Amino acid sequence: MTKLQDLVSLCKRRGIIFQNSEIYGGIAGFFDYGPIGAPMKMNLKKVWWNEIVKNRKNVVGIDGTIITHPKVWEASGHVKGFADLLSECKSCHKRFRVDQLKKGKEKECPDCGKELGKPRKFNILFHTEVGVIEGEKTETYLRGEACQTIYLNYKNVLDSTRQKIPFGIAQIGKAFRNEVTPKNFLYRSREFEQWDLQFFVHPDNMESWYEFWKKERFNWYKSLLNNKENIRFREHDKDELVFYAKKAFDIEYKTDFAGWLEMEGIHWRADYDLIQHSKFSGKKLNYKDPQTGEEYIPWIVETSGGVDRTFMFLLLDAYTEEEVEGKKRTVLKIDPRLAAYQAAVMPLAANKPDLVKYANRVFKDLASKFSVDWDDSSNIGKKYRRQDEIGTPFCITIDFDTLKDDTVTVRERDSMKQKRVPVKNLENTLVKKLNI
Amino acid sequence: MTKLQDLVSLCKRRGIIFQNSEIYGGIAGFFDYGPIGAPMKMNLKKVWWNEIVKNRKNVVGIDGTIITHPKVWEASGHVKGFADLLSECKSCHKRFRVDQLKKGKEKECPDCGKELGKPRKFNILFHTEVGVIEGEKTETYLRGEACQTIYLNYKNVLDSTRQKIPFGIAQIGKAFRNEVTPKNFLYRSREFEQWDLQFFVHPDNMESWYEFWKKERFNWYKSLLNNKENIRFREHDKDELVFYAKKAFDIEYKTDFAGWLEMEGIHWRADYDLIQHSKFSGKKLNYKDPQTGEEYIPWIVETSGGVDRTFMFLLLDAYTEEEVEGKKRTVLKIDPRLAAYQAAVMPLAANKPDLVKYANRVFKDLASKFSVDWDDSSNIGKKYRRQDEIGTPFCITIDFDTLKDDTVTVRERDSMKQKRVPVKNLENTLVKKLNI
């Protein structure tokens, strides 16, 4: 079993991730977040939003639709160019991505000698139609990248806020790609979320802002990882660059099943996108400097990452198997800000009304401040095991001593150390330990 | 101008809502949330999530995909039945929804005498195809209602959590309906978000749980409104009910442009959905009571509301025009928990480095705890006006006295009252006033 296989199994067992439409045999490349995964993903997005939007004066956030006007995707180049080049194996008739073959990453056709046909292009935009009446229908697409919605609203943001260049527009939202070979769990799925920052600058300052954001983003990802050696930059080769890009860097995470994989890209988009949308829409997308009067099309530094793949990398980073007293302990050593529950409250026994009543009071007090799980099942060992597997930083047990001296046992996830804490200090103890 | 028109104009001017793809002429039924609207909507969803999921032991939350296996929509009845009945006007060739005509709500065809043709059905599911290679494509749909993803995961949730009946699964997520006549701003759009709770109960307890959730949901919506008289229940007539429903209630909001409109529905879904999915998937979806051993298909109480329409109703409820010293003041008297910013920090003058430096320190301190706007533009009147229009509960001004005595002016949005507060008490003052 690879670590990924262990993780997939944990995710299903503990309600983190389920295959979508599983009762119908599933649908490749679509995953649902379960009772534990959904709040974890919410927390992860919040941590990003705080980092990029809330704590900065010069970045605002938007939330746009998935379906847009079809011209958007002509302007962006996706209708013509958002395609995978595929080759068909003449023997088994499977199709393979040519770029993956070149990198030596496709290994699903080992038996047929790899006699591949001429590469053909397949567009990976999902199409749909808006309008239900023949003659009034518009064929359009689900957005293939979320950032286009930001370009569409660049003028609206300028007109409705007091932002001046340099400033950024950020967004977290779903995008859809009809991948030929969805694989590696959440890594290459067909429906996924992206977190994007488009930072608008004067062309003269492009270089320094590019380097600024490159550093910011790397440090942020690093801060979320336990194993700091599993993150790196990969600079794109000259022949990988689009014509308007001076450089490009990926932030990569090291997996044990497919080596280094992309987590986020730092892109030199220059004025390409605004020029394209200006051309296709006929609207002037210039910026006029209120101080100098200079008019120009802003250049853009993009930082664009995958929420779901980051989620998966963080789970892989956190997934730990340890031997404790001769037994295997599986524990998710995840950043406490991302855990589904910050604490679990447990009466030592469910059939003792006094304990349950007391525990209920503790639960209620904490739930107004933290995200708290409740577990009144019978076996304390099983309860700890469950909370370890979903990464709950603290377990709080109400036992018979509690009834006498108003103290509870607080058990820490990573060290498994237990400490008696007076109930009245519980909130402060958690605030301090969780660093919130 | 109706209040709605005023609101639409405010939303564009202040960055709350933009028409999607506006630079391309827009696309009917699709709206983007701007720099102010995006955080407001996030806050609204968080308030719902806390109410329904976080603060209850017997409800868990999930987050599923928009694209699912096509069989889901056969089982749900949407492929056959999710259709609008349309009649074409023989004179102007416009199409009208027959149900709307019956209610007397369609008024767009006043000039042609309304000679309407025979009604025809138009399915309003958005379709798309998964897979890019001919022969391997699957035609499927964007989900027409988010709740189906919950039914799909009902077994997974049971297997991965310790929930026992009665318990609920909740979700906030996008759904898509190819409405023939999208209209009334966010009320009837084609891409929108729903918040759903599916609560699984023993058939014998259906009645009491139905009444429980009916009350809970009504009180929650009411708690968010200033004008409590603008909310009511509407009981569905017998001939509106689906065959398995004993009753159905809508929670409605009273608008000045279209009367009472639906905000949320409380639905008696009984065992219909699980039976359908069991039939179409061939999987057993029974529940076995761990205490009694009784095996049965659970019955479901659904509470399903529209996030975007609720957002619009709350804006309408909050939108206020007042006369202050002979001038019009527009103010958004929105629940402070929903405001984009809980406070705005303003140096009295932007060209006084001492003031700006001090204000910056205040901003930084508060931003770690609250969502805070920064405004160093010149005119204090304009600054207040802007914050009033986006509903910021408190404006904090740093002036020359601040430099002497470390106090700031705190101005309250609704009363416009100003008070000097020591900087060191600022955080506590806000926590107290915001009730967080």
Distance from the B193 Cα atom to the nearest Cα atom in chain A, whole angstroms: 11
Chain B segment 111-130 residues within 8 A of A by beta carbon are 122-124, 126-130
| pLDDT, tens only, B60-86 | 999 999 999 999 999 999 998 877 788
Angle at A20 between CA A18 and CA A21, to 5 degrees: 120
Q: What's the rounded mean pLDDT across residues A305-327?
A: 97
pTM of structure: 0.95
Distance from the B365 Cα atom to the nearest Cα atom in chain A, whole angstroms: 11
* Tokens found for residue B340: 């984009």
**Residue B207 scores a pLDDT above 90:** yes
Look over chain A and give the mean of its residue pLDDT values, rounded to a whole number: 93
Is residue A387 within 8 A of residue A328, CB to CB? The reply is no
Look over chain B and give the mean of its residue pLDDT values, rounded to a whole number: 93
3-state secondary structure of A89: strand
Q: Do A124 and B131 touch (CB under 8 A)?
A: no
Cis peptide before B166 (omega within 30 of 0): yes
The pLDDT value recorded for residue B434 is 87
3-state secondary structure of A403: helix
Chain B segment 362-381 residues within 8 A of A by beta carbon are 363, 367-368, 371, 374-375, 377
Q: Residue A288: count other Cβ atoms within 10 Å of its Cβ.
A: 11
- Quote the radius of gyration of chain B (alpha carbons, Å): 25
Question: Of A190, A181, A131, A24, nearest to B127 (Cα)?
Answer: A131
Second CATH level (architecture) for the domain B3-68+140-316: 2-Layer Sandwich (3.30)
Distance from the A235 Cα atom to the nearest Cα atom in chain B, whole angstroms: 30
The pLDDT value recorded for residue A107 is 57
Task: Quickly tell me which residue has 């997308």 as its tokens.
Answer: A285
3-state secondary structure of B305: strand
* Tokens found for residue A87: 């080759």
Q: Residue B222: count other Cβ atoms within 10 Å of its Cβ.
A: 12
Q: Residue B329: count other Cβ atoms within 10 Å of its Cβ.
A: 15
- Own/partner pairs, A309-312, CB within 8 angstroms, 24+ separation: A309/A186, A309/A187, A309/A192, A309/A261, A309/A262, A309/A263, A310/A44, A310/A221, A310/A263, A310/A264, A311/A37, A311/A40, A311/A41, A311/A44, A311/A186, A312/A7, A312/A185, A312/A186, A312/A187
Distance from the A30 Cα atom to the nearest Cα atom in chain B, whole angstroms: 7
Question: Could you say which DSSP state residue B163 is in?
Answer: -
Q: Which residues contact B223 (CB under 8 A, 6 or more apart)?
A: none
Instruction: Kindly report the backbone phi and psi dihedral angles of residue A67, in degrees, each rounded to the nearest multiple of 5, phi listed first.
Output: -95, 130
Q: Do A149 and B69 touch (CB under 8 A)?
A: no
CATH number of the domain at B341-434, please? Answer: 3.40.50.800
Q: What's the rounded mean pLDDT across residues B418-429?
A: 96
Instruction: Kindly report the backbone phi and psi dihedral angles of residue B319, in degrees, each rounded to the nearest multiple of 5, phi listed first.
Output: -65, 120
- Quote the CA–CA distance of A159 and B331 in Å, as a whole number: 20
- Between B314 and A93, residue with greater pLDDT: B314
**Residue B185 scores a pLDDT above 80:** yes
- CA A378 → CA A346, A348, B47, B132, B162, distances in Å? 10, 8, 33, 51, 12
Structural domain spans, chain A: 3-68+140-316, 341-434
Q: Identify the band that residue A87 occupies on the pLDDT scale cut at 50, 70 and 90.
A: confident
- CA A161 → CA A111, A243, B395, distances in Å? 60, 33, 17
* Tokens found for residue A432: 């301090």
- Quote the CA–CA distance of A255 and A258 in Å, as a whole number: 6
- Give the ipTM of the model, two decimals please: 0.94
| pLDDT, tens only, B343-379 | 999 999 889 999 999 999 999 999 989 999 999 987 8
- For CA atoms B317, B323, B327, B333, the dihedral sign is negative
Q: Identify the band that residue A91 occupies on the pLDDT scale cut at 50, 70 and 90.
A: confident
Chain B residues near residue A62 by CB distance under 8 angstroms: 32-35, 37-38
- Quote the CA–CA distance of B82 and B180 in Å, as a whole number: 13
Is residue B63 within 8 A of residue A32, CB to CB? The reply is yes
- Quote the CA–CA distance of A217 and A266 in Å, as a whole number: 9
- Quote the CA–CA distance of A386 and A380 in Å, as a whole number: 10
Is residue A69 within 8 A of residue A48, CB to CB? The reply is no
**Residue A24 scores a pLDDT above 70:** yes
Is residue B299 within 8 A of residue B270, CB to CB? The reply is yes
* Tokens found for residue A79: 């209708």
Chain B segment 37-76 residues within 8 A of A by beta carbon are 37-39, 41-42, 49, 53-55, 57, 60-69, 71-72
Residue B68 has its nearest CB partner, among A30, A138, A374, at A30
Instruction: Kindly report the backbone phi and psi dihedral angles of residue A236, in degrees, each rounded to the nearest multiple of 5, phi listed first.
Output: -70, 140
* Tokens found for residue A242: 């689009």
Beta strands in B39-116 (DSSP E): 59-62, 83-88, 95-97
- Own/partner pairs, B87-90, CB within 8 angstroms, 24+ separation: B87/B116, B87/B117, B87/B118, B87/B119, B87/B120, B88/B116, B88/B117, B88/B120, B89/B114, B89/B115, B89/B116, B89/B117, B90/B115, B90/B116, B90/B117
Indicate which of B24, B86, B149 best probes the interface with A, i.e. most A CBs within 10 Å of its own CB: B24
CA diameter of chain A: 79
Chain B segment 179-218 residues within 8 A of A by beta carbon are 180, 190-191
The pLDDT value recorded for residue A108 is 54
The pLDDT value recorded for residue B107 is 57
The pLDDT value recorded for residue B87 is 81
